[in-house]
Structure 1
Amino acid sequence: MTESVGISVPKVSINGAAVTGIKADALLDVRVVLETAAAAAATLRFHDPYFELLEGSFAKIGTKLQVAFPDAKGTDVIVFKGKIAAIAAEQGAADRHELVITAYDASQQLSHGLTPTTYTEMTAADIVSKIAKRNSLTAKTSITGKKMTYFLQLDSDHAVLDELARRNGAEWWVDDATLHFTKRTLKAPIKLKWGTTLQRFSARFSGAARVDDVTVRGWDPATQKAVTGKATRSAVTSTKVGLKLKMTDTRATQAKALKASSTVTDMPVGAADEAKALAEAMQADLAAGELRVQGEAIGQPKIAAGSTIQIEGAGTQLAGTFVVNRVEHIFGVGRPLLSRFEGGRHGGSELADHIVSAQRGSVRNRRQFAIGTVTNVKDPDKVGRIKVKLPTISDKDDSAWARVVSPGAGKSRGLHLMPDVGDEVLVAFIGGDPRNPVILGGIWSKKFAPPTPEPVKGDKVGERSLVMASGAKLVFTENTDKKKAVVALKHAEPETNLQFDKDGVKINAKKGTKIKLVVGDASVELASDGTITLKGGAITIKATKNLTLQGQKVSIKGSTGAVMDGGGSKVDLSPSGAKVQASGMVTVKGAMIKLN
């Protein structure tokens, strides 16, 4: 039988003043819920049939509320500190109204508001400390980890703490003004004995979600290689997940017969140690969910989220310790304090549930984007598709044929710039279906750097270009002075280029080479030594005004003849003779003239 325990009358204070006298006598019910990763809540019900407490100044929104219960030694234990958030009038037993006060602790403000925040070169513990300080809390963390180069907060502080906890295998909760962020750790226990302080107790072990190993795969753009992290179930002891019951070890050994492995590919990681840490967090979360314990203790106000309970007198299999995830302290008039507690993973853990749903083949948050490396560009249908390897998923398997997104793509038109085998690309999946991949574009990295390393001048991009692997490029230079803007088509040899600027069009060729324009049998050739050669079946030079030919020596040669026509005068030269003809006077002048 349950040992008799005295009535634990709560001590309530509002805004620092103790609730006493008639008001204390009107207290009917107190419920305080303390839970990891959630705001602590207190609900108090007062007998108020004539609305005197409601209409008076007894309680106001935003005022402080504290609840304490005496322990077995009569020492008051504060179980809740917070602020009143809601006040209600509800009909209770016999249709008599009750004043209902609801309050939350300081962690409730973590869900309020959202200001996008960037954290650079910080560990998870650093970010937790920043969040705590921002909310007037003091952080107490035991998590060590690698610094994250960049972390962007786009959700509430509460959501960020959840994410960091999941990725680090940790729990978080607020106790008064302290934000605790730690792994599930066994501490000095609160001892509960079956049949005395422990009134109800149940434990359930399930190996249904057990996996022998969890592998997390990611991609390192700096090395252009896949990264993996692996965690085995055998490396996760019950102590590491805050459970040290003999039942856990016994049943976990038996569950080895349920062999399974799981690979996670859609939680981006960029380094092996990050993948390893995430795999360990997932495996620990799964292990913590194998055992679920629930119980009811009486007269135990010290039980809180994160505290450790030791079970005694319940046989050898249930003997041991575990970390409490949730407790609800319940007081009713004429009854002792009842504390309902839970241990092991309760509710749903996104990481563990993520793996379990994958094992069951259920529809889950499908992959939307992935990094790929091109493996095949020879599309048998000749419609510009390629195949890629997705290193975060497999080092061996190619994707389905993927269409390539291209500006202006349409029937026989569009910008046609296909990636090469080995290129890193960003892959998207239509509807999250891996059977329908599309290539969004290529990605530069340290290993495959941009062709123009520093096109920026000051805070402006001074040059934009289209560059081929051969070195040929189309370059657009930017300038606020439009007269200085240049468009250039350049060869791999930089001296060879076609340039459009304010002065016109200029074609340059490397010294020792030629510029040659050819149309059928006609050609114009410019050599670097200054020689210009025009060739064609017939060449016509026509000027609407003057035509001047000038040189050190001017030679005109006709294979069958040459004619110079000056309007009314004409000189006709042929192999058979020469003829000079004029409509007017012909003048021949010289220092000496010889006529044969």
Structure 2
Amino acid sequence: MKEREIPVKATYNVATFDILIDGQEIDPGYQVMSISIVKEVNKIPVARIIFKDGDASEETFPISENENFIPGKSINIKLGRDSENQQMFKGVIVKHGIRAKENGETELILDCKDEAVRMTIGRHSRYFENSTDSEITEELITRYPALTPDVEATSYTHDEMVQHHCTDWDFMMMRAESNGKLVTVDDGTVQVNAPDTSADAALAVLFGSTLIDFEAEMDASHQWASVEAKSWDYAGQSLFEDSTDSIDINEPGNVPGEELASAIGPEQFELRHTGQAIGEELQAWTKSFLQRSRLSKIQGRAKFIGFGELKPGQLIELQGMGARFTGKAFVSAVRQDIYNGSWYTQAQFGLKPTCYAREYMDINDLGAGGLLPLIKGLQIGKVVQLENDPEGENRILVRLPIIDNAAPGIWARVATLDAGENRGSFFLPELEDEVIVGFLNDDPRDAVILGMLNSSAKPAPITAEDTNNEKGFVTRCGMRLHFNDDTKTITIDTPAGNSIKLDEADSSITVEDQNGNVTKLDSSGIEMESATDIKIKATGKIDIEAGAALSITAAQMSISAQSSMEVKGATTKLTADGITEVKGSIVNIN
């Protein structure tokens, strides 16, 4: 059934209103030129009141000088007809301005915002553990005493979630969007829930009857046939994948979003996250994107006489618009205007197709903190100097050719394998080596060397192979620590030929010097070979013990003791091919 009247009680569209500051009505003698109130999903409600103010003869703006209108004062705006007014806006004055026009008109302009504006002021960083997004959202909202949360529950529990240097509002918005939720604010109540397009329409408007002004458009450029998301599962070393090709959304008009998607859209809209976002998160993500796509299919606005019952998040029934646009549409914003004594309402329907992060580019803070122009990405550097850091901070001097190839460069810290007080790894690049340089907070003054680079001009000491068996470290003079996973060997050697080799295949350890001296430990025992002499010296005792035989062979052998010497055995045999002498001051035999 077509609705040919807006359901209001008054016969004439003559507006009445009340404005209360800190709970008190303003002077009825003040002349209000206009009132505008805008409430929109995913935005803070705003209101603007324009007063006729300013006295040129007295050279003053008397209403502006009233203490009631300074920023920070609470304000309530009620609209209606025949003095039957209902609250349309509750918030706080945030801006107070005056204006004089060429035609002589002078005005006081008050800009007001809902108390939720406090969530947009100041950046914060926090950790959240073992919490769902709905729990996190409630915690954010309840930080502000003037706000009341009304948050639809989400199911997935995050082991950890991080808010990094952003406003509570931006963080809440992005987490809501990732779950397919919309945020609507109404007089201090922050509601976060999924859109309901199956509800009854809050109002019906009819072309040719109740509509004063109207426009609508159908756009295929942001309609997706399906949405696919992928992320990396480092535990399983595989991809998490999820896709959504249908969403429970009732659309106005007779051309479904799926049909429009086939016109110019891709077969599949792709979302990628290189971190670990598991299946349940990906599922909510894909549904959120497809939901936004369908809700953005038809966008427009409808203007009619003032109606205070319509809210963002509700549905409006479009009648008499033709087959392409007739039907129930999702209301994304409502604007209430009073001017020239009349009250008008404009309903905006359909969502913008762009996601929140693309619409607001100031979510993240400025690079380099806004202190100077930032430097993006990694940069190539050439090492200029290793010593004499003027600040004594263990930095090295690096020239960035792309900035100035003739200048000395900047002092940069060096990221290393381990670093601490009087400990850690210590490997510095050589002068004129090529290094990769990053910058803390994108500040070109805070450089960090992340690593060194090889190239055809400065080739690596080991030739790369797909088998990747060889790894190691080689110093400037050729000292080498070499690993081979194929032969299962570790070798430490110097250019002159001094080496230690651990060989798992031969079950051996071999120590060899440049003079030809070799010590080898293997399954046969320990073998020592000297090109010249072997000397063993100890300040204490030397014990030699053999489980079997001990054999000593020499061209000539001398054994001496400073005090006494004892040779003892179960049997003892002393033989010689020549003369055998036994001498002593006393010789006892048996």
* TM-score, scaled relative to structure 2: 0.64
Contact 2:95–2:110, Cα closer than 8 Å, also in 1: yes
User: Which residues in structure 2 correspond to 1:99-114 (within 5 Å)?
Assistant: 99-114=108-123
CA–CA separation in structure 1 for the residues paired with 2:28 and 2:588: 148
Tell me which of 24, 35, 42 is aligned to 1:37.
42
- Does residue 171 (structure 1) correspond to residue 176 (structure 2)? The answer is no
CA–CA separation in structure 2 for the residues paired with 1:540 and 1:329: 103
Contact 1:327–1:340, Cα closer than 8 Å, also in 2: yes
Contact 2:292–2:353, Cα closer than 8 Å, also in 1: no
Contact 2:221–2:265, Cα closer than 8 Å, also in 1: no
Contact 1:406–1:414, Cα closer than 8 Å, also in 2: no
Deviations 1:19-78 (A, max 9, x none): 24312xx1111111111122111111111132111223342221111111116x864221
Tell me which of 79, 92, 98 is aligned to 2:107.
98
Bigger CA drift: 287-296 or 14-23?
A: 14-23
CA–CA separation in structure 1 for the residues paired with 2:125 and 2:234: 26
Question: What letter is aligned with 2:140?
Answer: I
- Does residue 118 (structure 1) correspond to residue 131 (structure 2)? The answer is no
Contact 1:309–1:323, Cα closer than 8 Å, also in 2: yes
Contact 1:515–1:526, Cα closer than 8 Å, also in 2: yes
- Does residue 285 (structure 1) correspond to residue 292 (structure 2)? The answer is yes
Are residues 10 and 468 of structure 1, via their aligned partners in 2, closer, same or farther at CA, if it must alter by over 3 Å?
Answer: farther
- Does residue 146 (structure 1) correspond to residue 159 (structure 2)? The answer is no
Question: What letter is aligned with 2:54?
Answer: P
Name the SS for the 1:222 alignment partner.
Answer: coil
Are residues 86 and 267 of structure 1, via their aligned partners in 2, closer, same or farther at CA, if it must alter by over 3 Å?
Answer: farther
Question: What letter is aligned with 2:252?
Answer: L
Question: What letter is aligned with 1:214?
Answer: V
Tell me which of 17, 24, 37 is aligned to 1:10.
17
Name the SS for the 1:52 alignment partner.
Answer: coil
- Does residue 183 (structure 1) correspond to residue 190 (structure 2)? The answer is no
Bigger CA drift: 547-556 or 255-264?
A: 547-556
Name the SS for the 1:253 alignment partner.
Answer: helix
CA–CA separation in structure 2 for the residues paired with 1:329 and 1:37: 18
Are residues 16 and 347 of structure 1, via their aligned partners in 2, closer, same or farther at CA, if it must alter by over 3 Å?
Answer: farther
User: Which residues in structure 2 correspond to 1:408-557 (within 5 Å)?
Assistant: 411=458, 517-519=511-513, 522-524=517-519, 534-536=528-530, 538-541=532-535, 557=553
CA–CA separation in structure 2 for the residues paired with 1:546 and 1:21: 110
- Does residue 301 (structure 1) correspond to residue 308 (structure 2)? The answer is yes
Bigger CA drift: 252-261 or 169-178?
A: 252-261
CA–CA separation in structure 2 for the residues paired with 1:15 and 1:537: 102
Contact 2:293–2:353, Cα closer than 8 Å, also in 1: no
Contact 1:221–1:270, Cα closer than 8 Å, also in 2: no
CA–CA separation in structure 2 for the residues paired with 1:171 and 1:544: 83
Tell me which of 270, 273, 277 is aligned to 2:277.
270
CA–CA separation in structure 2 for the residues paired with 1:416 and 1:149: 43
User: Which residues in structure 2 correspond to 1:20-35 (within 5 Å)?
Assistant: 20-23=27-30, 26-35=31-40
User: Which residues in structure 2 correspond to 1:326-365 (within 5 Å)?
Assistant: 326-334=333-341, 336-346=342-352, 348-350=354-356
CA–CA separation in structure 2 for the residues paired with 1:315 and 1:548: 109
Question: What letter is aligned with 1:61?
Answer: P
Deviations 1:145-190 (A, max 9, x none): 3112211112111111221122122210211121111112234412
**For structure 1, which runs of at least 5 residues remain unmatched after alignment?**
355-365, 369-404, 422-465, 475-488, 494-512, 567-574, 581-585
Contact 2:224–2:258, Cα closer than 8 Å, also in 1: no
Are residues 419 and 313 of structure 1, via their aligned partners in 2, closer, same or farther at CA, if it must alter by over 3 Å?
Answer: same
User: Which residues in structure 2 correspond to 1:184-263 (within 5 Å)?
Assistant: 184-186=195-197, 187-188=199-200, 189-232=202-245, 235-239=246-250, 244-249=251-256, 253=259, 256-258=262-264, 260=266, 261-263=268-270
Contact 1:38–1:107, Cα closer than 8 Å, also in 2: no
Which residue in the other structure is 2:139 paired with? 130
Shift of 1:134: 0.8
Are residues 408 and 86 of structure 1, via their aligned partners in 2, closer, same or farther at CA, if it must alter by over 3 Å?
Answer: closer
Deviations 1:475-506 (A, max 9, x none): xxxxxxxxxxxxxx99899xxxxxxxxxxxxx
CA–CA separation in structure 2 for the residues paired with 1:551 and 1:278: 74
Shift of 1:221: 1.5
Higher helix share: 1
Which residue in the other structure is 1:450 paired with? none
Deviations 1:523-557 (A, max 9, x none): 4467999x876444543538799999989999764
Are residues 212 and 123 of structure 1, via their aligned partners in 2, closer, same or farther at CA, if it must alter by over 3 Å?
Answer: same
Tell me which of 61, 64, 76 is aligned to 1:54.
64
CA–CA separation in structure 1 for the residues paired with 2:532 and 2:325: 108
Are residues 551 and 39 of structure 1, via their aligned partners in 2, closer, same or farther at CA, if it must alter by over 3 Å?
Answer: closer
Are residues 254 and 217 of structure 1, via their aligned partners in 2, closer, same or farther at CA, if it must alter by over 3 Å?
Answer: closer
Which residue in the other structure is 1:78 paired with? 87
Which residue in the other structure is 2:319 paired with? 312
CA–CA separation in structure 1 for the residues paired with 2:21 and 2:121: 23
CA–CA separation in structure 2 for the residues paired with 1:353 and 1:86: 24
Shift of 1:215: 0.8
Shift of 1:83: 0.8
Bigger CA drift: 134-143 or 270-279?
A: 134-143
Contact 2:19–2:26, Cα closer than 8 Å, also in 1: yes
Deviations 1:357-383 (A, max 9, x none): xxxxxxxxx999xxxxxxxxxxxxxxx
Which residue in the other structure is 1:321 paired with? 328
Shift of 1:112: 0.9
CA–CA separation in structure 1 for the residues paired with 2:238 and 2:175: 26
**For structure 2, which runs of at least 5 residues remain unmatched after alignment?**
56-60, 361-375, 379-448, 469-481, 492-499, 562-575
Contact 1:292–1:344, Cα closer than 8 Å, also in 2: yes
Contact 1:70–1:76, Cα closer than 8 Å, also in 2: yes
Contact 1:82–1:103, Cα closer than 8 Å, also in 2: yes
RMSD of the alignment, in Å? 4.6
Are residues 274 and 419 of structure 1, via their aligned partners in 2, closer, same or farther at CA, if it must alter by over 3 Å?
Answer: farther
Contact 2:252–2:298, Cα closer than 8 Å, also in 1: no
Name the SS for the 2:135 alignment partner.
Answer: helix
Tell me which of 91, 97, 105 is aligned to 1:88.
97
Question: What letter is aligned with 2:355?
Answer: S
CA–CA separation in structure 1 for the residues paired with 2:15 and 2:162: 47
CA–CA separation in structure 2 for the residues paired with 1:473 and 1:522: 20
Contact 1:523–1:536, Cα closer than 8 Å, also in 2: yes
Name the SS for the 2:288 alignment partner.
Answer: helix
Bigger CA drift: 257-266 or 127-136?
A: 257-266
Shift of 1:349: 2.7
Contact 2:127–2:162, Cα closer than 8 Å, also in 1: yes
CA–CA separation in structure 2 for the residues paired with 1:17 and 1:547: 103
Name the SS for the 2:287 alignment partner.
Answer: helix
Bigger CA drift: 88-97 or 43-52?
A: 88-97
Bigger CA drift: 344-353 or 280-289?
A: 344-353
CA–CA separation in structure 1 for the residues paired with 2:355 and 2:544: 91
